[in-house]
């Protein structure tokens, strides 16, 4: 019997028990509250995609998810999508201490139960897990200059890309919670500083994208580059992150947005989201920064690297106007160094990095959910595949082969 079936029989049993005690029960509400009572405080056995080893297919396993401890929230994940950073860990960095793990950091769900001392969340709340927490008390959280938090896992165990603690076990082994979130699981447990409550009207199978890629790209343009009205921009790499950066440049009022990708299939979506030009580096036999300089009388005002490739990071920098260009590194890699001639910066360029689009986790995600509901940012255009968690390896293959923007997987029924 799988986890879902086991949990539903719990539901049924408690509903039956309650109904025999109180004949007025039986509404949908009572079924929900009976379900809560059935699992709160207990270990939940459920299904999750476990990455046992690097560079191997993930395996759907039954895992045990411990009850939330003090300040923690246990969440039923409803929908999740695959981001390139999941692939980076599984297929590129492959850090030996980073396995077994449950990947996934772009998800949305419903609070199942809360640990002691949690007042901000209640069972039934719609939430989005955050790979970048916001404690609201540390000197970073209190500063408007950064979205980093001193309590973030990234400050402790960057190389294995996992939270410090884990509430997961499988076959007697402790399993890491990738990026502190692990959304490729029916249930997950997260500290309340890394969870944000969202508008109950939000469709979870769409807003799950705001857990990473869309906020990252959009915010990199709006918050980090601070794209100006009437400016010229270049976006390198048109996955969800780059396409969201295009959307951010457009929202900020850019006049010209040059979208760059080695995959010509990306041109159409980029134009839908606001790109005015598309350039495929493979169509040119000179360096891409020379092509961009030629198109823009010396370079763009703002460039954004959304690939995670150090050579592209240099191209993006050199594509920006020498006198005042701002270039932002958004793509992720922790495997290679970059070296440049100081001259590239001395004349006036600014080189920046952006994590999670400069958004403070809790505030930013809740704000972007609101913007989606008010139709100020688009999400539906990014979803190219609807799947279920069982198809996780297919979703990983699609992303690996650049055949999707985002594949959204249903994890649990809502």
Ligand X SMILES: *[C@@H]1O[C@H](CO)[C@@H](O)[C@H](O)[C@H]1NC(C)=O
Ligand Y SMILES: NC(=O)c1ccc[n+]([C@@H]2O[C@H](COP(=O)([O-])OP(=O)(O)OC[C@H]3O[C@@H](n4cnc5c(N)ncnc54)[C@H](O)[C@@H]3O)[C@@H](O)[C@H]2O)c1
Active-site residues, by number, are 83, 85, 89, 105, 212
Residue 386 binds which entry of ligand Y, Zn ion, ligand X, none, CB below 5-8 Å type-dependent: ligand X
Closest CA to 113 of 170, 167, 47, 48: 167
Q: Give the residue among 2, 82, 114 at the shortest CA–CA distance from 385.
A: 82
For the chain, the first-to-last Cα distance in angstroms comes to: 20
Quote the CA–CA distance of 193 and 171 in Å, as a whole number.
29
Q: Which residue among 80, 81, 85, 182 contacts Zn ion (CB under 5 A)?
A: 85
Nearer to Zn ion, 360 or 378 (CB): 360
**Considering beta carbons, is residue 204 or 326 the nearer one to ligand X?**
204
- Give the H or E element holding residue 258: strand 256-260
DSSP reduced 3-state for 240: helix
Tokens of 98: 């980073």
Binding mask 333-372 for ligand Y (x = CB under 6 A): ---------------------xxx----------------
Q: How far is the CB of 172 from ligand X (least distance, A)?
A: 38
Smallest gap from residue 270 Cβ to ligand X (A): 18
Q: Which residues of 329-348 are buried (b: 16+ CB within 10 A; e: fewer)?
A: bbbbeeeeeeeeeeebeeee
- Complex with ligand Y: residue 198 or 258, whichever CB lies closer: 258
CA distance 309 to 173: 34
Q: Judge whether 21 and 7 are in contact, CB under 8 Å.
A: no
Binds 383: which of Zn ion, ligand Y, ligand X, none (CB < 5-8 Å by kind): ligand X
Q: Which does 149 bind (CB under 5 to 8 A by kind): Zn ion, ligand Y, ligand X, none?
A: Zn ion
E-only strand ranges, 104-210: 106-114, 126-129, 168-170, 173-177, 187-191, 195-197
Q: Which of residues 79-108 bind ligand Y (CB under 6 A)?
A: 83-85, 88
* Min separation Cβ 244 and ligand Y, Å: 8
Residue 299 or 308: the one with the smaller Cβ distance to ligand Y is: 308
Nearer to Zn ion, 34 or 212 (CB): 212
- Nearest approach, Cβ of residue 104 and ligand X (Å): 19
**Which tokens belong to 355?**
């994590």
**Binder of residue 238, out of ligand X, Zn ion, ligand Y, none (CB less than 5 to 8 A by kind):** ligand Y
- Whole-angstrom distance, CA of residue 58 vs CA of residue 71: 30
Tokens 């495997």 belong to residue = 335
Contact between 288 and 295 under an 8 Å Cβ cutoff? The reply is: no
Sites for ligand Y among residues 289-308 (CB under 6 A) = 306-308
> H or E element: which one contains 321?
none
User: Measured at CB, which residue is nearest to ligand Y?
Assistant: 239
- Where helices occur in 22-168 by DSSP H, the ranges are 28-39, 84-87, 139-142
Residue 205 interaction partner, one of ligand Y, Zn ion, ligand X, none, beta carbon < 5-8 Å per kind: ligand X
Q: Where is 393: in which H helix or E strand?
A: helix 392-400
CA distances (Å), 45 to each of 39, 129, 168, 195, 260, in order?
A: 10, 20, 10, 22, 45
Number of residues that bind ligand X (CB under 6 A): 5
Kindly tell me which of 262 and 345 has the beta carbon lying closer to ligand Y. Answer: 262
- Per-residue x/- track, 368-397, ligand X (CB under 6 A): ---------------xxxx-----------
Residues in the chain: 414
Q: Kindly write out the interface string for residues 122-151 of this chain, putting x where it contacts Zn ion by CB under 5 A and - elsewhere.
A: -------------x--x--x-------x--
CB burial of 43-71 (b: ≥16 within 10 Å; e: otherwise) equals: ebbbbbbbbbebeeebeebbbbbbbbeee
- Options 140, 332, 359, 382; binder of ligand Y; rule CB under 6 A: 332
Draw the binding track, 184-213, toward ligand X (x: CB under 6 A; -: no contact): ---------------------x--------
Q: Closest distance between ligand Y and the C-beta of residue 184, in Å?
A: 15
309 touching ligand X, by CB under 6 A:
no
User: How far apart are alpha carbons 147 and 132 in whole angstroms?
Assistant: 8
Candidates 47, 76, 197, 266: give the one binding ligand Y (CB under 6 A).
266
- CA distances in angstroms from 218 to 66, 336, 354, 357, listed in the order given: 35, 25, 11, 7
Q: How far is the CB of 80 from ligand Y (least distance, A)?
A: 13
Positions in the binding site for ligand X (CB under 6 A): 205, 383-386
Positions in the binding site for ligand Y (CB under 6 A): 83-85, 88, 212-213, 216, 236-242, 260-263, 266, 281, 306-309, 312, 330-332, 354-356, 399, 402
């Amino acid at each position: 019997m799988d986890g879902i079936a086991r949990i539903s029989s719990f539901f049924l049993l408690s509903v039956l028990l309650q109904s025999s005690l109180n004949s007025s029960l039986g509404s949908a509400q009572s079924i929900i509250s009976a379900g809560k009572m059935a699992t709160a405080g207990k270990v939940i056995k459920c299904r999750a995609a476990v990455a046992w080893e690097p560079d191997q297919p993930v395996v759907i396993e039954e895992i045990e998810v411990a009850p939330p401890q003090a300040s923690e929230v246990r969440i039923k994940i409803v929908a999740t999508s695959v981001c390139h950073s999941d692939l980076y860990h599984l297929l590129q960095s492959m850090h030996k201490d980073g396995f077994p793990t449950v990947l996934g950091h772009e998800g949305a769900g419903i609070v199942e139960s809360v640990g002691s001392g949690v007042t901000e969340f209640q069972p039934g709340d719609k939430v989005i897990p955050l790979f970048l927490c916001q404690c609201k008390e540390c000197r970073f959280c209190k500063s408007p200059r950064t979205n980093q938090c001193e309590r973030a896992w990234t400050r402790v165990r960057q190389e294995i890309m996992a939270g410090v603690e884990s509430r997961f076990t499988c076959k007697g082994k402790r399993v890491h919670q990738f990026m502190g979130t692990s959304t490729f699981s029916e249930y997950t447990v997260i500290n309340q500083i890394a969870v944000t409550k969202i508008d109950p009207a939000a469709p979870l199978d769409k807003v799950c994208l705001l857990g990473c890629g869309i906020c990252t790209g959009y915010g990199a343009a709006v918050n980090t580059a601070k794209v100006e009205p009437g400016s010229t921009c270049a976006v390198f790499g048109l996955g969800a992150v780059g396409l969201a950066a295009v959307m951010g440049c457009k929202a900020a009022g850019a006049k010209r947005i040059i979208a760059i990708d080695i995959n010509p299939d990306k041109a159409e979506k980029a134009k839908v989201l606001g790109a005015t030009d598309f350039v495929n580096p493979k169509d040119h036999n000179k360096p891409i920064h020379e092509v961009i300089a030629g198109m823009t009388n010396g370079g763009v005002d703002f460039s954004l690297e959304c690939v995670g490739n150090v050579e592209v990071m240099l191209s993006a920098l050199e594509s920006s106007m020498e006198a005042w260009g701002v270039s932002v590194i958004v793509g992720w890699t922790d495997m290679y160094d970059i070296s440049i001639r100081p001259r590239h910066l001395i004349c006036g360029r600014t080189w920046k990095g952006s994590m999670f689009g400069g958004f403070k986790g809790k505030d930013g995600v809740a704000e972007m959910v609101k913007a989606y509901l008010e139709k100020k940012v688009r999400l539906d255009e990014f979803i190219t595949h609807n799947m279920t968690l069982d198809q996780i390896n297919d979703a990983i293959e699609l992303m690996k082969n650049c055949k999707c923007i985002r594949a959204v997987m249903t994890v649990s029924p809502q």
